[in-house]
């Protein structure tokens, strides 16, 4: 039975390889033929070349595979699992019995560190302040459209960013 399955798998692999080669040859022939030739003629020639390549590859690979290979599979008997629990409960070794200590790394960081300032909730603007900033920005109009290179808007944004980081 195992030899029959192996032969089916091998036959399937030969079929896929032959079909892939046939499709590649058909595509190559379709691309190589000049576009001034009719599409129907190009398609027929490409299909014929692809079929010929596929059949040739099928016969070649089948001849190579039919050399009398025998696949011997080792007998495998799955082990039976006991439904009863182990007699001794599993215990942690000394290496795993120490408690897990979680240190807050942010306590060790200095007050001038950027990580603390970026994620510090007290330094975040309130929703009202954000709305006021957006309204102020929209009320000014598109200041970047007035200058052709928008360098003043970039300088203003960088100044605001520096001020907010201090």
Closest by CA position to 19, among listed 47, 69, 62, 53: 53
33 within 8 A of 42, measured Cβ to Cβ: yes
Pairwise CA distance, residues 115 & 113, whole Å: 6
Query: pLDDT tens digits, residue range 96-135?
Result: 566 667 666 666 667 676 665 566 677 778 888 888 888 8
pTM: 0.40
Structure confidence by residue, pLDDT tens digits, 1-32: 456 777 788 888 899 999 999 999 999 998 88
Residue 163 CA: distances (Å) to CA of 6, 67, 109, 135, 156: 73, 80, 21, 19, 11
């Amino acid at each position: 039975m195992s030899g029959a399955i192996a032969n089916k798998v091998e036959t399937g692999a030969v079929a896929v390889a032959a079909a892939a080669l046939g499709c590649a040859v058909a595509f190559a022939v379709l691309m190589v033929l000049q576009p001034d030739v009719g599409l129907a003629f190009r398609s027929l020639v490409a299909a014929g070349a692809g079929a010929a390549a596929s059949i040739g590859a099928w016969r070649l690979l089948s001849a190579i595979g039919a050399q009398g290979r025998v696949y011997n599979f080792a007998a495998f008997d799955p082990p039976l699992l006991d439904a009863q629990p182990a007699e001794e409960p599993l215990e942690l070794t000394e290496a795993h019995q120490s408690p897990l200590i979680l240190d807050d790394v942010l306590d060790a960081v200095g007050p001038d560190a950027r990580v603390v300032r970026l994620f510090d909730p007290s330094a975040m603007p309130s929703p009202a302040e954000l709305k006021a900033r957006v309204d102020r920005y929209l009320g000014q109009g598109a200041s970047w459209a007035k200058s052709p290179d928008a360098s003043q808007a970039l300088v203003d944004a960088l100044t605001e960013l520096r001020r907010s980081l201090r």
